[in-house]
Amino acid sequence: MNRVDQPRPPFAMGKREFVTMMAMLQALQALAIDAMLPALGVMAQELNAATDNDRQLVVGVFLLGIGAGSLVPGTLADRFGRRPLVLVTLAFYVIPMVACAFVQDFDTLLGLRLVQALGCSGLAVLPAAIIRDRFDGDQMARQQSLVSVVFMTVPMLAPALGQGIMALLGWRWIFGAMGVLGVMMAVWVWVRLPETLDPQGRHAIRIEAIAVSMAKVVTTRESIGYVLASTLMMSAIWGYLNSSQQLLAEGFGAGDAFPYVFGAIIGGMIVANLINARIVNRFGARRVSQTGIFAFIAVALVQVYFACQPNQTLWQFSAIMCVNMGLVGFMGANFISIALQPFGKSSGIAASVQAFLRLVIGSLIGAAIGQAYDGTARPLAFSLLACGCMALVLVLFSERGRLFRRVNPARAARPPDIAA
């Protein structure tokens, strides 16, 4: 069902603006990570971080905080609506971001990053719930892919933006610039975003019912395998993200070219999401994403081979990593839409629980992969292969061993909607 095409009040948005807004809401968190990457070394040195790998905590703590806080926004959004929660979340994004610009020690910076992540965790949850309010099945996968195209353009450009700001004004102004962008997004949401939650779909906040609902999200077999599979894909990518500045700029000697190499690798995801948006309605989210898993494993084997060679070059690593990132693009949006499909009326709670699992588990595994950095690409390469193989097992679990099916969401047997 496509509710965007139904009659709308005057302030409602068309599809293009809707997709762009959802993408930019998600992209704020990516900016809070990727724009900092070129400054991590200088930041850690100036604020007296204990070890070289501690610089990764500026990213790792933020990711962990987003995951830990993501259980709350969806539940509140199912009760009070999506729009108010988006505005509150943006306030929690802006205020700690500005405070980070004035810190004088590394531990305070990490503390503020954690507070910010906990408060703005809704940016990882609410856009998916809003899209689920308006779209269903493969249509949702298509819209999520279009969102991802815009969303992924931001981290592609963010390191260059951060490096430019740092060169002109210093690293503290990176936080200031991100705060200004947060304010601009809040104004846009306030003026243009209509409430997407059906008034009849609002749920009272009852702890016992919420606990039951969350348990159902975790125990729905058709969903949970895809949630955990996407978690492993995110873990591998975040392991790369955590160590990317050290691996590319220092290990492979990219130096000042780091933002451009990083952006080119991310470009694989943008291309994949554009292709996915065009083909998912024809072939189905399951067929596309399951094919992507097998291709990802094959490419990861190639990455392991080159990583074990004595003189792997930057260009060998970057080319293969770009393909791997692209293949994740064929899985991410599709996995999310498949996992949310059984939970139409309570997509807020479902999105929160699923985001919690993806972000908390993913950030912990990703941090471990990053901390394993030893000056080479070997730890990352083996992690990509392991995550791909385990993701395939989890998808097989959810599909009861039957791959490449196409399920019609209108006819498919699905568990009863959760109700809080």
Nearest 5°: the CA angle 262, 265, 270 is 120
Higher-scoring residue by pLDDT: 416, 335: 335
- Rounded to the nearest integer, the mean pLDDT of the chain is 83
SS3 category, 172: helix
Q: Say yes or no to pLDDT of 321 above 70.
A: yes
**pTM for this model (two decimals):** 0.71
Indicate the DSSP class of residue 5: G
The pLDDT value given to residue 403: 87
What DSSP assignment string belongs to 21-67? HHHHHHHHHHHHHHTTGGGHHHHHHHTT-SSGGGGGHHHHHHHHHHH
What's the distance, Cα to Cα, between the start and end of the chain in Å? 24
Structure tokens at 228: 């955990």
Better-scored residue on pLDDT, 70 or 61:
61
CA distances (Å), origin 314, targets 39, 57, 321, 383, 411: 21, 25, 10, 19, 49
**In this predicted structure, which of 7-21, 48-62, 76-90, 224-238 has the lowest mean pLDDT?**
7-21
Judge contact between 407 and 398, C-beta under 8 A. Answer: no
Using left for φ > 0, alpha for ψ between -120 and 50, and beta otherwise, residue 404 falls in left
For residues 384 and 228, what is the distance between their CA atoms, to the nearest angstrom? Answer: 15
Helices 71-80 and 126-134, axial angle in degrees (round to 10) = 40
Percent of the chain with pLDDT strictly greater than 70: 87
Q: At residue 8, does pLDDT exceed 60? A: no
Instruction: Provide, rounded to the nearest whole percent, the portion of the chain with pLDDT above 90.
Output: 30
* 8 A C-beta contact, residue 48 and residue 110: no
Q: With 50 as the cut, is the pLDDT of residue 412 above it?
A: no
**Tokens 């873990």 belong to which residue?**
235
Calculate Rg over the CA atoms of the chain: 20
Return the pLDDT at 93: 95
171 in helix, strand or coil? Answer: coil
Calpha distance 93→91 (Å, rounded): 5
Q: What sign does the CA torsion over 356, 359, 363, 369 have?
A: positive
Q: What three-state secondary structure class fits 120? A: coil
Q: With beta carbons less than 8 A apart as the criterion, state whether 4 and 147 touch.
A: no
Helix, strand, or coil here: 308? Answer: coil
Res 209 pLDDT > 70: no
Residues 234-252, mean pLDDT to the nearest whole number: 87
Report pLDDT digits (tens) over 110-150: 999 999 999 988 887 888 778 877 777 667 767 766 777 67
CB atoms within 10 A of CB 207: 9
Q: Which domains does the chain have, with CATH numbers?
A: 13-398 (1.20.1250.20)
Residue 230's Cβ-count burial label (10 Å; 0-12, 13-18, 19+) is: buried
By mean pLDDT, which of 91-100, 182-191, 197-206 is the weakest?
Answer: 197-206
- The answer, yes or no, to whether residue 402 has pLDDT greater than 70, is yes
pLDDT beyond 60 at 2: no
The whole-angstrom separation of Cα 304 and Cα 385 is: 8
Cα(294)–Cα(272) distance, integer angstroms = 15
CB 349: neighbour CB atoms within 10 A?
29
Residue for token pair 């059984």: 342
The span from the CA of 265 to the CA of 329, in Å, is 12
Helix (H) or strand (E) holding 11: none
380 neighbors 247 (Cβ within 8 angstroms): yes
